[in-house]
Chains A and B, each alone.
Chain A
Amino acid sequence: MAKLDKLLQDWIAQGFINSEQAGKIHQYESAKPKTSWFLYGTLTLGVSVLGMGIISLIAANWHQIGDYAKLFAAFSILSVVAIFAFQANKASKRVIYDVLVLALQALSLATIGLISQIYHTDGEPYQALLFWTLITLPLVITTEFTFAPFIWAGSFIGASLWGLLESKILRVPEIDHAELLLVITPLFTAVLAIIARLLRGSTGIMKAMHIWVMIGALIGLSVVEFWSAGHPRLNFGQLGTSIISVLSLMIVAPVAASKLYSNLQKVLLTSLVIVYIIAVNMAATRLSGDLLGACFTLIELGLLGAFYASQKARGRFNIVLMLMGLRFFVLFLQALRGLAMTGFGLILSGIILIALASVWNKRRHQIAAWMERITQ
C-alpha cells in the first residue's frame, strides 16, 4: 500500500485527481483480498515436504495392513482434501485452494504408487507420471499460482521425452537417442507453451511454461555448443531429422496463423527456430567450431531477448540479457586466451552494445514500423 499512497500523493500534486478521489481509490484497493506470497511459499513448501513424506511412507510397504484398508484410507484422504479445496474455492480463498490442489496432486501420485504396490503393476515410472499428468490436468487448469503448474509441466515434459526415448519409434540402433532428446527439448517445450497460449491457459500455466521454455532453451543451446566444441559426431538419422522438422513446423505454423502474435513476434520466433536448426545441423555435421557455436548461442539469446522485449516481459528479458553477458565473457576467454585481451574485447563489446541500445532507443519506432511493413 505504501507504493499506492506515494502514487496517489503524486497524482494529487499533479492535479490529476483530488483528495476525495484518492480516498476512494485507497479504500477500493485496501478492500481487495490480499495474496500473501510468504503464506503461499511457506504452505507450498509444507505441502511438498508432506507429499514426499506420504510417498516415502507408502514406499515402506506396510504389509501387515490389509490392501483394502490401505486403499480406503487413501481414497478417504483424497476425498477430504478435495472437499476442503471446494470449500476454499467457494470462499474465494485462492492461496488455500491452490495449496490444497498441490496436496491433491501429491496424494494422487502417492495413490498411484500405492495401487502399483498393492497390485504389483509392472509399468515404467514415465507411464505412471504420464497417467498422473493426465488425471491432474483439469486440477492444474483451475490454479492461479505458478508452483502446481510448474511441477505438472515439468513432469509432463520429462515423462513425454522419457516415453519417446523408450518408444518403439526410436528403437533404431544407429541413432544417438539421448542426444536427440536433448536437442528436441527446447522445441518440445516451445510447442507446449504455444499450445497453452493458443488455448488461453491460466496465468499460472503460462508462467510455468515460460520457465520451462527457458530451461529447455538452455539445455538445447548448451548441448549444441558442447557438440560444436568437437565432441563425437551426432547421428540423428532420417528419423531424428523428421522429428526435429515436425516439431519446428508445429512451432512456426500455428504462430504464423495466430492473431495472438504480432508480425514482429512471428518473425522473431521463426528466426529462432531457423537459427536453431542451422546450429544443430552444423554441430551434427561438424562444420561448426567452438567459436561458431558460441555465436549461434548469442544470436539465439538475442532473438529470444527481442521476443521477450516485444512481449514486454521485463523479467524474462533481463534473465536473457544476463545470460548473454555471461556468454560474452566466456566467449572472450575462449577466443583471446588471456585476461588482458579478454578485457579489451569485453570493453569493445560493451561499447558496441551501448551504441546499439542508444540507436534502438532513438529509432525504435521507425525500426518497429519497418519490421511491420516488411512482414505484411
Chain B
Amino acid sequence: MNRSPKFIIAALAFPILALLGLAINKATIREIGRIVTFKITGYDPRDLLSGHYLIYQIDYGIPGLCTNPDVQGQTIYICPQEQRVYGDKPASCSYFIKGTCQNQRFEAGVERYYIPQEYAVRLDRLVQNKQGSVTLSVASNGEAQVNRLLIEGLPWAEFIQKNQEPPAP
C-alpha cells in the first residue's frame, strides 16, 4: 500500500479540505443570498449527530403547490412573488427557490432548524402555534439556506430572553 509522505499528507489533508469547502459553500450562500422571510408550522424530532431540530413546512403563499401528481419527485422552481411554479429557472422572477415535490410537499432543503435541547419543547410549541417564521438566504441559482428562526418577528433567542416562562411549581 502507498505510504509515501506525499500520499500521507494528501490523505490527512483531504477530509479537512473537503469539510472546509463544504463550510465555505454554505457560508457563501448565507452571506450573499437574498434574505426572505416565510411563515412556518412544524414539529421537533432529534438527530443523534447534530442534536435537536425543528422540522417545519414553509408557507410560500402558493396555493396547490406540489398537489399535482405529475410533478411528484421532479425538480421545480417557485417564484413566491408571482405565486407561480416553473419547470425551469424563471427569467422574469426577481428571486426564485429550487426544490422538489415529495409526498405533495415542496422541499428545498430548508425545512430543518437546529435548536438547543433545553428550548426544544418551548420552541416546538411556539412553532405549532404558528408564531414562527424563518428567514432564508436565496442564491441567484435558486439554492436556499436557512438563516434564522424568528418567533413573532424576533430572533428565537431574543424572544426567549424577553419572554421568560415562570419556573414550574
Nearest chain B residue, comparing its CB with the CB of A201: B1
- B interface residues, how many (CB within 8 angstroms): 43
CB distance from A154 to the nearest CB of B (A): 16
Q: Say yes or no: A135 contacts B14, CB within 8 Å.
A: yes
Q: Say yes or no: B115 contacts A61, CB within 8 Å.
A: yes
Nearest chain A residue, comparing its CB with the CB of B1: A202
Q: How far is the CA of A55 from the CA of B51 in the complex (A)?
A: 9
A111 CB within 8 Å of chain B: yes
Q: How far is the CA of A63 from the CA of B149 in the complex (A)?
A: 13
B92 CB within 8 Å of chain A: no
Q: Say yes or no: B114 contacts A142, CB within 8 Å.
A: no
B164 CB within 8 Å of chain A: no
Residues from chain A with a CB closer than 8 A to the CB of B145 are 119-120
Beyond A90-B5, A135-B19, whether A58 also contacts B111 by CB under 8 A is: no
A183 CB within 8 Å of chain B: no
B93 CB within 8 Å of chain A: no
Q: How far is the CA of A78 from the CA of B12 in the complex (A)?
A: 9
B91 CB within 8 Å of chain A: no
Segment among B42-50, B62-70, B75-83, B125-133 that sits at the interface with chain A? B42-50
CB distance from B136 to the nearest CB of A (A): 10
Q: How far is the CA of A86 from the CA of B109 in the complex (A)?
A: 37
A33 CB within 8 Å of chain B: no
Which of these, B22, B73, B114, contacts A168 with CB under 8 Å?
A: B73
Q: Say yes or no: A55 contacts B22, CB within 8 Å.
A: no
Q: How far is the CA of A60 from the CA of B53 in the complex (A)?
A: 11
A281 CB within 8 Å of chain B: no
Q: How far is the CA of A322 from the CA of B38 in the complex (A)?
A: 62
CB distance from A49 to the nearest CB of B (A): 16
Nearest chain A residue, comparing its CB with the CB of B21: A135
Nearest chain A residue, comparing its CB with the CB of B109: A122
Q: Which of A226-255 contact B (CB under 8 A)?
A: none
Residues from chain B with a CB closer than 8 A to the CB of A78 are 15-16, 19
| For the complex of A and B, 5 pairs with smallest distance between CB atoms | A59-B51, A138-B11, A113-B49, A120-B146, A119-B26
